[in-house]
Amino acid sequence: MARISFPLPPEEEPIHHNQVAASVSRRSAALTAASSSWPAASDLFSEDFLAESLDEQEDELSRLLVQVETFSQAAGSGPEELFKFRELLLQVAHSVFLRWKVLHQLRTMALTDELTGLYNRRGFLLLAMHNVRLAIRSSQPLLLFFADVDGLKAINDRCGHVQGDALLVGCGEVLKMTFRESDIIARIGGDEFAVLAQGGTGEARDAVMQRLNDSIALMNRDVLAPYKLSLSVGAARFDPQNPLSLSELLSVADREMMNRKRARSAHHPQSYGRSNGYTHS
């Protein structure tokens, strides 16, 4: 972390005791207020989850804040003491930064799928529920897509789990190519993916399906592999005027996905793992 240097006051401008004390008191109050506004660990995770990871950082931050408060209440003196106080402030800022970094890393690990880099089920549910609440307040429709990778078990059995994992990673890349950064894309199960996207018209749904088909075709054309990516996809519309819960939306999209999978299996029983992606109808 880059250190910030604070210049000492010019010698020709002497610092009076009252000015130093007032400055130190204001800085201490501001620092304490800023620290108190940080989200508590329990707001993000359970205490058990963070107990061993953050104890040392919490103790260090508390100790430094006590020192800052003690120093701010002590009788002020000259520039040397003010410089020491500034150095102490830097230590506190560094400790706060480390605490934020640990929280950020833990939150990322807790909400992200390690294989694909997408959100995991926990991350999807957390962010999707937040977006559903926003959609209700703003009267904006949403589309939820539920996708299943066709024939993953057969590919694992025939080509090995390394190739199966590569297929899942490829599916994640296809979804990122298809959807916007503001959409919530997640791997919520072994071969199951979900996306919550803005917009809720039939035209928007058809446009997404076409982009998805194009992305799958591009992936299958450019990536050399003994198989081709194939997805079965279902969709559900969230109407803010007649809202469904997130679990209900997932169920609707899942039923449509299964119906499409059964229909494709009946017409092309040997196609999984070798055909192109979603067949729009």
- Chain segment 54-113, per-residue pLDDT in tens: 455 556 666 766 766 676 666 565 677 767 777 777 777 777 777 777 777 777 778 899
The pLDDT tens digits for 36-49 are 444 444 444 444 44
Q: Is residue 29 part of a domain?
A: yes
- pTM (whole model) above 0.85: no
Last residue of a domain, one of 111, 145, 169: 111
* Whole-angstrom distance, CA of residue 155 vs CA of residue 206: 29
Last residue of a domain, one of 111, 140, 158: 111
Residues 151 and 180 placed together within one structural domain of the fold: yes
Question: Does the pLDDT value for residue 144 go beyond 50?
Answer: yes
* Whole-angstrom distance, CA of residue 187 vs CA of residue 185: 7
Query: Sorting pLDDT into bands at 50, 70 and 90, what band is 214?
Result: very high
* Whole-angstrom distance, CA of residue 210 vs CA of residue 201: 14
Q: Is residue 277 part of a domain?
A: no
Residues 144 and 238 placed together within one structural domain of the fold: yes
144-174 core/surface letters (b: 16 or more CB in 10 A; e: else):
bbbbbbbbbeebbeebeeeebebbbebbbbb
Helix (H, G, I), strand (E, B) or coil at 180: coil
Residues 82 and 132 placed together within one structural domain of the fold: no
Query: Sorting pLDDT into bands at 50, 70 and 90, what band is 216?
Result: very high
Mean residue pLDDT of the chain comes to 76
Residues 132 and 241 placed together within one structural domain of the fold: yes
Q: Is residue 273 part of a domain?
A: no
Q: For residue 18, what pLDDT is reported?
A: 54
* Whole-angstrom distance, CA of residue 116 vs CA of residue 128: 19
- The DSSP letter of residue 3 is -
CA angle 31, 37, 40 (to 5 degrees): 120
What's the token pair of residue 278? 């979603």
Q: Which amino acid is at 215?
A: S
CA torsion angle 74 79 81 83 (round to 10): 130
Q: Is residue 171 part of a domain?
A: yes
Q: Which of 89, 85, 104 is nearest to 38 (CA)?
A: 104
Structure-model confidence comparison of residues 106 and 138, the more confident one: 138
Helix (H) or strand (E) holding 144: strand 142-149
Last residue of a domain, one of 75, 90, 111: 111
Q: Is residue 281 part of a domain?
A: no
Q: Is residue 280 part of a domain?
A: no
Residues 26 and 105 placed together within one structural domain of the fold: yes
Q: Is residue 81 part of a domain?
A: yes
Q: Is residue 3 part of a domain?
A: no
Q: Which of 253, 251, 185, 174 is nearest to 214 (CA)?
A: 174
Residues 194 and 70 placed together within one structural domain of the fold: no
Residues 227 and 159 placed together within one structural domain of the fold: yes
Percent helix, percent strand, percent coil in the chain, to nearest 5: 60, 10, 30
Residues 59 and 127 placed together within one structural domain of the fold: no
Domains contained in the chain, number = 2
Residues 260 and 201 placed together within one structural domain of the fold: yes
Residues 83 and 130 placed together within one structural domain of the fold: no
Q: What is the CATH number of the domain that holds 204?
A: 3.30.70.270
By residue count, the chain amounts to 281
* Whole-angstrom distance, CA of residue 106 vs CA of residue 177: 27
Q: How many CB atoms lie within 10 A of CB 254?
A: 17
Q: What is the mean pLDDT of residues 218-223?
A: 89
Structure-model confidence comparison of residues 14 and 214, the more confident one: 214
Structure-model confidence comparison of residues 252 and 8, the more confident one: 252
User: Highest-confidence range of 74-88, 126-140, 254-268, by mean pLDDT?
Assistant: 126-140
Residues 202 and 73 placed together within one structural domain of the fold: no
Q: For residue 77, what pLDDT is reported?
A: 57
Domain residues for the domain of 153 are 121-267
Q: Which amino acid is at 166?
A: A
Q: Which amino acid is at 71?
A: F
Residues 135 and 95 placed together within one structural domain of the fold: no
